[in-house]
A = this chain, B = another copy of it.
Amino acid sequence: VTLLLRDVARELELAFEGDGAIPLEGLASLEDAGVRDLSFVTGPRYRAAFRSSRAGAVIAPPGFDAEGRSCLRASAPYVAFARAVDLFQPRPGPEPGVHPTAVVAPDAVLAAGVYVGPFAVIGRRVRIGARTRIHAHVTLYDGVHVGADCEIHSGAALREDVELGDRVSVQNGSVIGAEGFGFAYTAEGRRVRIPHRGSVVVGDEAQIGANTTIDASHAGHPRRGDTRARTRIGRGVAIDNLVQVGHGCAVGDHSTLCADVALGGSTVLGRGVTLAGAVKSAGHLQVGDGAMAAGASALVGDVEAGARVAGIPHMDLRLWRRAMVALRSLPELLGRVRRLERQLRGAPAED
């Protein structure tokens, strides 16, 4: 597609400055952009890259001196850039309708505009909201409820009674509501698996990555409204790929779980918690609102609201940074202490 700058401005409802007839064909960073690319700059920090960029036009915030370059004005340039993707690289979804190969239970209820792809399996008593897209090879077990405007990609599985809000997206291969990993032991020590029938509730606008697993809780009854003990993913939560959420966890609204995060059972995260990549958490922890854990750390106890933590086991982020710097000089420190001991014994400080 080739679009003129003024057409892009009109579509995105942004003001433009300079030559509205500049032809644009794609999107790129300031470094990668060619003369037919639209780029963006978020502030004066990127002045140098802005000056040396070959971009035909740039999305810039109000007040940023465009130095005569044609530009679009947006208070959040990166958001505008993200929205421009649909103009230059549109990816139209499939047409509504149920593919003839799909297997849909007679009592499933599909709202208007739903798409169900090839070989999808829609179980008994399933409900699917308007305009939701269920791609190929998705399995919705009995009793699943999916809201409106959701997208569930190929190979994902939603187990019995899972409930998704509206505008939820699930990437390929994720499994929501599989049996939690909890056991009881007989008096003789024999392991008995506890049935996990509490299922999972996912809030509106949550995003779930690929090959992620979110387990059903053992407590809480899907149809009785007692969601407290069920595994809960809050509204607007973003979960990346290969994340494990154990049985009975609760992830607060707008929290972020980066790739490879793993939460032990019954962990409770507050609102707006950020767990960077590969953070692990023991079970039965409480993590307060807005807390952040640095990548590859492991939570072994509760974390206060707003705290910044790092390390295995986790500690305050600043302490961890100092400890890690100190760790590098630890081998040398051993030698220094040995020398001090010798000196105090009256021996010569040779070492």
A interface residues with partner B (beta carbon < 8 Å): 25-29, 32, 75-76, 78-79, 81-83, 85-86, 88-89, 91, 99, 101, 103, 117-119, 121, 135-137, 139, 141, 153-155, 157, 159-160, 169, 171-173, 175, 178-179, 181, 183-187, 191-195, 197, 207, 209-213, 215, 218-219, 221, 224, 226, 228-229, 236, 238, 240-242, 244, 246, 254, 258-260, 262, 264, 277-278, 280, 282-283, 295-296, 298, 300, 311-313, 315, 319, 322-331, 333-334, 336-337, 340-341, 343-344
Q: Which of A103, A172, A211, A323 has the most CB of B within 10 A?
A: A172
In contact, B337 and A326 (Cβ under 8 angstroms): no
Tell whether A238 pairs with B197 under 8 Å between CB atoms, given A89-B221, A187-B76: no
Given the known inter-chain contacts A135-B139, A241-B181, please indicate yes or no for A26 contacting B215, CB distance below 8 A.
no
> Which of B139, B259, B264, B319 is in CB contact (< 8 Å) with A277?
B264
Closest residue of chain B to A282 (Cβ to Cβ) is B295
Of B135, B193, B283, B341, which one neighbours A340 at CB under 8 angstroms? B341
CA of A9 to CA of B178 in the docked complex: distance in angstroms?
29
- Choose among B139, B153, B185, B344 the residue that contacts A178 (Cβ–Cβ < 8 A): B153
Choose among B26, B207, B244 the residue that contacts A221 (Cβ–Cβ < 8 A): B26
Q: A181 contacts B259, CB within 8 Å? A: yes
Query: B32, B76, B215: which contacts A185 (Cβ < 8 A)?
Result: B76
The answer to whether residues A139 and B139 also contact, given A82-B193, A229-B28, A296-B280 and a CB cut-off of 8 A, is no
Chain A interface, >50% SS class: loop
User: Could you name 26 residue pairs across A and B whose Cβ atoms are closer than 8 Å?
Assistant: A26-B224, A28-B226, A32-B226, A76-B185, A82-B195, A89-B221, A103-B119, A121-B137, A139-B172, A153-B178, A155-B155, A173-B173, A175-B211, A175-B241, A178-B209, A181-B259, A191-B238, A210-B215, A260-B260, A260-B280, A280-B295, A295-B298, A296-B298, A315-B328, A323-B331, A340-B341
- B residues less than 8 Å from A283 (CB atoms): 277
3 A-B pairs with the lowest CB-CB distances in the bound complex, closest first:
A296-B298, A78-B184, A322-B331
Are B341 and A331 in contact, CB atoms less than 8 angstroms apart?
Answer: no
- Inter-chain contacts of A193 with B (CB < 8 A): 82, 169, 207, 238
Which listed residue, B79, B259, B341, touches A246 by the CB 8 Å rule?
B259
Min CB gap A101→B, angstroms: 6
Which among B117, B141, B258 is the interface contact of A181 at CB below 8 angstroms?
B258
CA distance A121 to B155 in the complex (A): 11
Measured between beta carbons, the chain B residues less than 8 angstroms from A139 are 135-137, 154-155, 172
If the complex has contacts A340-B337, A340-B344, are A172 and B175 also in contact, measured as CB distance less than 8 A? yes
Contact of A91 with B197 in the complex, beta carbons under 8 Å: yes
Known contacts being A171-B179, A282-B295, is A244 close to B242, with CB within 8 Å?
yes
